[in-house]
């Protein structure tokens, strides 16, 4: 199958179009299945999508009580004395999802899941890595590395492997896999914390030692006060698991995404650009939809003949009105505080 590339004017139209794609898929599958499994991303790109999607749920177009969600990633090492404090930290992805989607719903999902990174004490992880270098190896060609924990590891490392990493993948499998995964893309083509250079093979759920640039950017962007406060590790689905979903919807906006988006479509399939794994996914028959604003799509539009020569579909929606999902009101009921 080909990659379907939807080009929109700006962030608002991108969000509305992406929400319509997601809502339509949920609505279609809810006609024949009891539960829908939705994969979710964090970051700026999907925030508008989530607001539109909440409107669709609250308007009764789709049923949140038949949706179960799994998020892509979570930090390890957020400030806090215990797992609860770390999960409630404003920079945790648990907190993000509550703020940007879950609290907007009049009726909750069946269940929400975020990788269990907040259960890990980062100082204990550092000690285990220092004391038992034979129990793991680092995999990756750049500064961000996957921490591959050995089969004979014990203690903290075994618990992380069995009860945090493998258990998250098993739980997804137990519900039949993910129906549709919303993803974003980083400036180097990475997806979630599957950082550039981390191998595809064996990348279902990863313990990632973060690239120094990732840590420094988190401080520069104001997420953490100092490098010392910024987490050094994360738990993340890898490309191998992300692209097992029945459908994947990429949302990307802004000029910083232009090059990696183009490279993921027209460049080779390489772990240097983890999003490029989508090419192999589409070739296997996976449904991959890119929803891009004009800036993120700029290079693909310049090379549109090459894109279409590869069999991919480019749909220019910049002159189209917003979708019906986007036209739902964002006003809140003054009595309940819920979105109308």
Percent residues over pLDDT 90 in the chain: 86
What span, in angstroms and rounded, lies between the C-alpha atoms of 247 and 243? 8
Q: How confident is the model at residue 325 (pLDDT cuts 50, 70, 90)?
A: low
Read off the tokens for 111. Answer: 């269940």
The reply to whether 190 falls in a domain is yes
Whether pLDDT at 324 is above 80: no
Judging by DSSP bridges, how do beta strands 313-316 and 287-293 pair with one another? Answer: unpaired
The reply to whether 127 falls in a domain is yes
* CATH number of the domain within which 76 lies: 3.40.50.1360
The reply to whether 147 falls in a domain is yes
What span, in angstroms and rounded, lies between the C-alpha atoms of 311 and 90? 43
What span, in angstroms and rounded, lies between the C-alpha atoms of 292 and 290? 6
Q: What is the DSSP secondary structure assignment for residue 107, as one 8-state letter?
A: S
- Which range has the worst mean pLDDT, 56-60, 189-193, 313-317, 321-325? 321-325
Which pLDDT does position 321 carry in this prediction? 85
The reply to whether 332 falls in a domain is no
Mean pLDDT of the chain: 93
pTM for this entry: 0.93
Coil, strand or helix at 5 = strand
C-alpha of 73 from chain center = 7
The reply to whether 333 falls in a domain is no
Whether pLDDT at 6 is above 50: yes
What span, in angstroms and rounded, lies between the C-alpha atoms of 253 and 190? 15
Read off the tokens for 205. Answer: 């759920």
Buried b (16+ CB within 10 A) or exposed e, 84-114: eebbebebbbbbbbbebbbebbbeebeebbb
Pairwise pLDDT comparison (268 vs 335), residue with the higher score = 268
The reply to whether 218 falls in a domain is yes
Read off the tokens for 72. Answer: 């892509």
Whether pLDDT at 308 is above 90: yes
The reply to whether 331 falls in a domain is no
Which pLDDT does position 298 carry in this prediction? 98
Domain count, the chain: 1
Whether pLDDT at 323 is above 80: no
Q: How confident is the model at residue 339 (pLDDT cuts 50, 70, 90)?
A: very low
pLDDT in tens, 111-126: 999 999 999 999 999 9
pLDDT in tens, 166-203: 999 999 999 999 999 999 999 899 999 999 999 999 99
Q: Which domain does 126 fall in, by range?
A: 3-319
The reply to whether 270 falls in a domain is yes
pLDDT in tens, 190-238: 999 999 999 999 999 999 999 887 888 788 878 888 888 889 999 999 9
């Amino acid at each position: 199958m080909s990659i379907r590339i939807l080009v929109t004017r700006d962030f608002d139209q991108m969000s509305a179009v992406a929400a319509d794609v997601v809502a339509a898929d949920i609505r279609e599958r809810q006609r024949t299945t009891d539960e829908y499994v939705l994969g979710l991303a964090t970051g700026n790109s999907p925030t508008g999508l989530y607001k539109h999607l909440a409107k669709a749920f609250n308007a009764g177009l789709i049923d949140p009580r038949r949706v179960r969600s799994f998020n892509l990633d979570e930090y390890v090492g957020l400030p806090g004395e215990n797992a609860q404090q770390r999960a409630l930290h404003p920079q945790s992805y648990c907190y993000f999802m509550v703020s940007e989607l879950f609290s907007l719903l009049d009726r909750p999902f069946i269940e929400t899941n975020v990788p269990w990174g907040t259960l890990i004490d980062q100082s204990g992880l550092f000690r285990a890595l220092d004391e038992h270098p034979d129990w793991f190896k680092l995999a990756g060609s750049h500064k961000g590395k996957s921490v591959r924990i050995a089969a004979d590891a014990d203690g903290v490392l075994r618990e992380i492997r069995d009860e945090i990493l493998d258990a998250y993948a098993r739980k997804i499998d137990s519900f039949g896999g993910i129906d549709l995964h919303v993803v974003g893309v980083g400036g180097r083509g990475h997806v979630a914390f599957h950082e550039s250079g981390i191998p595809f093979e064996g990348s279902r759920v990863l313990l990632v030692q973060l690239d120094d640039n990732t840590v420094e950017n988190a401080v520069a962007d104001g997420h953490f006060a100092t490098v010392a406060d910024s987490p050094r590790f994360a738990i993340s689905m890898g490309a191998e698991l992300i692209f097992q979903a029945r459908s994947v919807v990429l949302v990307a906006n802004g000029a910083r995404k232009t090059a990696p988006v183009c490279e993921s479509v027209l460049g080779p399939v390489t772990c240097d650009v983890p999003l490029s794994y989508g090419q192999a996914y589409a070739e296997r028959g996976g449904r991959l939809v890119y929803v891009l604003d004009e800036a993120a799509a700029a290079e693909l539009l310049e090379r549109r003949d090459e894109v279409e020569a590869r069999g991919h579909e480019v749909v220019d929606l910049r002159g189209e009105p917003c979708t019906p999902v986007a036209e739902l009101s964002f006003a809140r009921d003054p009595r309940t505080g819920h979105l109308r």
